[in-house]
Structure 1
Amino acid sequence: MAVNLTKVAKKARDYEYILLMMRHAKTEKVSHDGDDAARELTDKGRKQAKHVAKALDGLGLVPDVMAVSGAKRTRQTAERMLKVFGDKPEVTYHKKLYTDGLSEVSSILSAQKKKKKILMIIGHEPTMSEGSLWWSEGSSHALEALEIGLSPASVAVLGAHKPFEQWDIHEADVLAVITAKDCD
């Protein structure tokens, strides 16, 4: 079921803080040297990252901060997105997003300043969908999609009224899960 991006933008305006949890774009199956962290984006993955960035920009959801895993595929995803976003996002790289999962996501949230309203985390599965489920409450079709897991270049959009540093379990509402296909 396709997501109505106009409705997502309208819902997002009702929240003071927006968290975008994104799985990196499509990658090669195996890296050339066998190192999983060195896997690169495919041509399709590069296009996905650009299309998702354009969609988020069109929704008014350009992040203030991008926290990116240290793996090559997540850095490449961020680089493609920054070509659309420009210099606005403050970008930080977190090797522990690849190794420590939800623990590192919690650390990133708690380190955010109140003036930063839109935070994007680009990481891996299952951490991105599990984190989205962890911080979300209620029930919706979006939650059902998160239980299955995020496909490459998908973004869970969560909203809350409290600053990120105050988020606890079930603090946010899941506004949507946007897939790469929704952005074509």
Structure 2
Amino acid sequence: MKTLYLLRHAKSSWDDPTLADHDRPLAARGRQAAPRMAVWLRTEARRPDLVICSSAARAHETWDLVARELQPAPEVDIRRSVYDAGPDQLIAIAQGAPARVDTLMLVGHNPAMEEAAALLAGGGDTKALATMQSKYPTAAVAEFTFELDAWESIGRDTGYLARFVRPKDLAE
């Protein structure tokens, strides 16, 4: 069995309009939400064996805040391709995960994260599916399980959405 977490980066700042999109940092709200999600991941979820994170500043900063709660921090692979990816490319990135990895996390951006999650969901917890389909907010995590032995076998409708957690679902 394989488990995949899709973590959308936390809320980014638009305070400096001269910054390139790739360089935008987290907003104060994002710096508060990411640690809350990290605590949830540490206490309620499985620790990822590998994290593949977008190279964008806001995604990398989100991961840094999460990693502080997951000590020792999992192996992380920062990739520009996650920043530029569409939903099919995100799924392909997951399909390319090493066989030794049972639990993988992708840290990326919308709309690709939301669309990839919708493509992967072949079923799942009814409430989680409805919440995810209504909106995939910043810092939200979708947890998918796959009754498969190899990452290359995941694809459209092969995942079970076990949980969808948003920062607002967690206590401050």
Question: What's the TM-score once normalised by structure 2's chain length?
Answer: 0.90
Q: In structure 1, how many angstroms separate the alpha carbons of the residues matched to 2:108 and 2:168?
A: 19
Output one character per residue of 1:41-91: Cα deviation in whole Å (capped at 9) or x when no partner: 122211211111111110142111111111100000001111111234110
Superposed CA deviations along residues 98-139 of structure 1, whole A, max 9, x for unmatched, are: 212224312321221232111111111111111111111136
Question: Normalising by structure 1, what TM-score?
Answer: 0.84
Q: Offset of 1:30 from its aligned partner?
A: 4.7
**Higher alpha-carbon deviation: 110-119 or 67-76:** 110-119
Q: What is the CA distance between 1:93 and its match in structure 2? A: 1.1
Look up the equivalent residue of 2:158 and give its one-letter code.
Answer: E
What secondary structure sits across from 1:45 in the alignment? helix
Q: Distance in 1 between matches of 2:84 and 2:169?
A: 30
Instruction: Return 5+ residue gaps in structure 2 as ranges.
Output: none
Q: Is residue 178 from structure 1 mapped to residue 160 from structure 2 by the alignment?
A: no
- Cα distance in 2 for residues equivalent to 1:104 and 1:70: 15
Q: Secondary structure at the match of 2:155?
A: coil
- Say how many residue pairs are matched: 169
Asked whether 1:153 is paired with 2:139, we answer: yes
Aligned partners of 2:133, 2:15: CA distance in 1, in Å?
26
| Aligned residues with identical type, % of pairs | 24
Corresponding position of 1:167: 154
CA separation in 1, counterparts of 2:152 and 2:170?
30
Deviations 1:126-171 (A, max 9, x none): 1111111111113623223333331111001111121322112100
Q: Is the 8 A contact 1:65 1:119 kept in 2?
A: yes
Deviation at 1:36, TM superposition (A): 1.3
- Alignment of structure 1 residues 42-121 onto 2, 5 Å: 42-121=27-106
The equivalences for 1:114-133 within 5 A come to 114-133=99-118
CA distance in 1, matches of 2:88, 2:16: 26
Deviates more, 1:65-74 or 1:32-41: 32-41
Q: Secondary structure at the match of 2:69?
A: helix
Asked if structure 2 preserves the Cα contact closer than 8 Å seen for 1:126 and 1:149, the reply is: no
